[in-house]
Structure 1
Amino acid sequence: MLADHEQDRLVELLVVTAEVIGDQLRPTTAAYMVGDLSCYPLAQLERALGACRRELKGRLSLAAVLERIDDGHPAPNEAWAVAIQAADERNTVVWTTLTQQAWNTALPLVQAGDKIAARQAFLETYTRLVKEARAARLPASYAPSLGFDLTSRNAALTDAVSKGLLAHDQVSDHLQLTAATPAFNPVALLAGKVEASPGANPKIRARLEELARELAA
């Protein structure tokens, strides 16, 4: 919830933004809009109103501001570009729950070979779901859909964790572990020699060298 001074600042921003795009917004109207917007951080609202000043012409509405708040929901075409990757079961896809729901609507059309109709169905469903989520002040929630290609799965999940879309705990069970490097040279051991591998840490290397001296004695 915005503090009182932040709400006053938001009223000013709303009035100024309306003037910039050729609209007029009375302070009382702006105050009512603040009541619907004050659950968002002021920094997010400032960015959203900046986008309104660049993109809108003629009228500033509450819906226009809400549409431009960065709540994590991808734009419809961006969501479709992610969803269509799930048509190939080899792919691991990291998407929002709303993207997944809209994809479930489009999937039968994709399977029937009509990607044009599938895309239209997806966009209509996704737009409606995002509108409902924003009305309920629900931010985006991400989840993985695992494909059977292990290499691409690892890359997709690692990338999602690095971008903050998923927590490491969510995907740790699905990430491939890098094989551990042996502390000794197994080929040399077959010849009766104890040699440390290049990646061995100094403590292990010293112990292996001591063991080699003992065997030589």
Structure 2
Amino acid sequence: MQPEDFDNFARVLDAAYSLHSKSLTADARSLFFAALGKYSLAEVRKAFSAHISDPQRGQYPPKPADLIAHLQGDASKDGRPDASEAWAIAVRSRDEAETVCWTQEMAEAFAVASNIENDEFGARNAFTSKYNRLVEAARSAGRTAVWFMSYGHDASRRESVALEAVRAGHLQIEAVRVAVPALCAPDNAYDAGIAQENLARLRQLTASINNRGEAHD
């Protein structure tokens, strides 16, 4: 939050405390504001609402720690995999033929782990430690997960991993066209049959993504 957000924050805070027939001093409001300063006003408002609606915590006036717990809980749903899943993805990059779709945190953590040779256990521990620190820092800073492709030599794996990344919602179709040869081939290499097959496949993929989105609504 910015200093100019204080008045709006104080109104929300006072309203939350008024539900319990309580009030805060000016110094307490300032301490509260400082404790939540790294979050946006919109995020803090959402945390207040979550606290008030909580069947257990909502029975008591909110403390900064209560709101931070809600805020960190929301951050854990940002699409970043846990360390075990991240390692399973990252370790495939050892194979130069393999294609992986990973986050910046995975790539940086795996670079550290790659410096440890002939010790799989030590490499994994180093990855886990570095990855968890990077993810925690990214979430604290409010940075969203950014996924990108690291292409290997196997053309079939490039395409299948790219399309799976789209299915998972990590990337948009436009970002992976390079992995679908017929869609980026030069004019003199154009094959109408292959293009139609790929177009049908992309339409089917888009439809499956839309259907999945409707199922969640």
Give, as a single letter, the amino acid of the residue that structure 2 aligns with 1:167: Q
State the match for 2:86 in structure 1: 79
State the match for 2:176 in structure 1: 171
State the match for 1:195 in structure 2: none
Give, as a single letter, the amino acid of the residue that structure 1 aligns with 2:100: V
Distance 2:42 2:123 in 1: 34
| 1:37 correspondence with 2:39 | yes
State the match for 2:139 in structure 1: 134
**Contact 1:92 1:146 (8 Å CA) reproduced:** yes
State the match for 1:99 in structure 2: 106
Q: Return closer, same or farther for 1:104/1:33 CA change in 2, 3 Å cut-off.
A: same
Question: Structure 1 length normalisation: TM-score?
Answer: 0.57
**Contact 2:101 2:165 (8 Å CA) reproduced:** yes
**1:177: Cα distance to partner?**
2.5
Counterpart secondary structure, 2:118: coil
**1:141: Cα distance to partner?**
0.8
Distance 1:48 1:155 in 2: 40
Question: Structure 2 length normalisation: TM-score?
Answer: 0.57
Distance 2:82 2:49 in 1: 16
Q: Return closer, same or farther for 1:118/1:65 CA change in 2, 3 Å cut-off.
A: farther
> Which of 143, 151, 159 matches 2:148?
143
What do the CA deviations read for 1:103-140 (whole angstroms, capped 9, x no partner)?
Answer: 1111132xx23111011000111111122222322111
Q: Flag structure 1 segments of 5+ consecutive residues without an equivalent.
A: 17-25, 54-58, 183-217
Give, as a single letter, the amino acid of the residue that structure 1 aligns with 2:151: L
**Contact 2:112 2:126 (8 Å CA) reproduced:** yes
Distance 2:37 2:160 in 1: 43
State the match for 2:160 in structure 1: 155
Distance 2:119 2:48 in 1: 41
**Contact 2:98 2:154 (8 Å CA) reproduced:** yes
Distance 2:120 2:156 in 1: 27
Q: Flag structure 2 segments of 5+ consecutive residues without an equivalent.
A: 57-63, 184-190, 195-217
Counterpart secondary structure, 2:171: coil
Distance 1:61 1:107 in 2: 39
**1:97: Cα distance to partner?**
0.7
Higher helix share: 2
Distance 2:49 2:114 in 1: 35
Distance 1:61 1:79 in 2: 29
Moved more, 38-47 or 91-100: 38-47
RMSD: 4.1
Structure number, greater radius of gyration: 1
The list of structure 1 runs, each at least 4 consecutive aligned residues, that deviate by more than 6 angstroms after superposition, is 46-51
**Contact 1:33 1:62 (8 Å CA) reproduced:** no
State the match for 2:12 in structure 1: 8
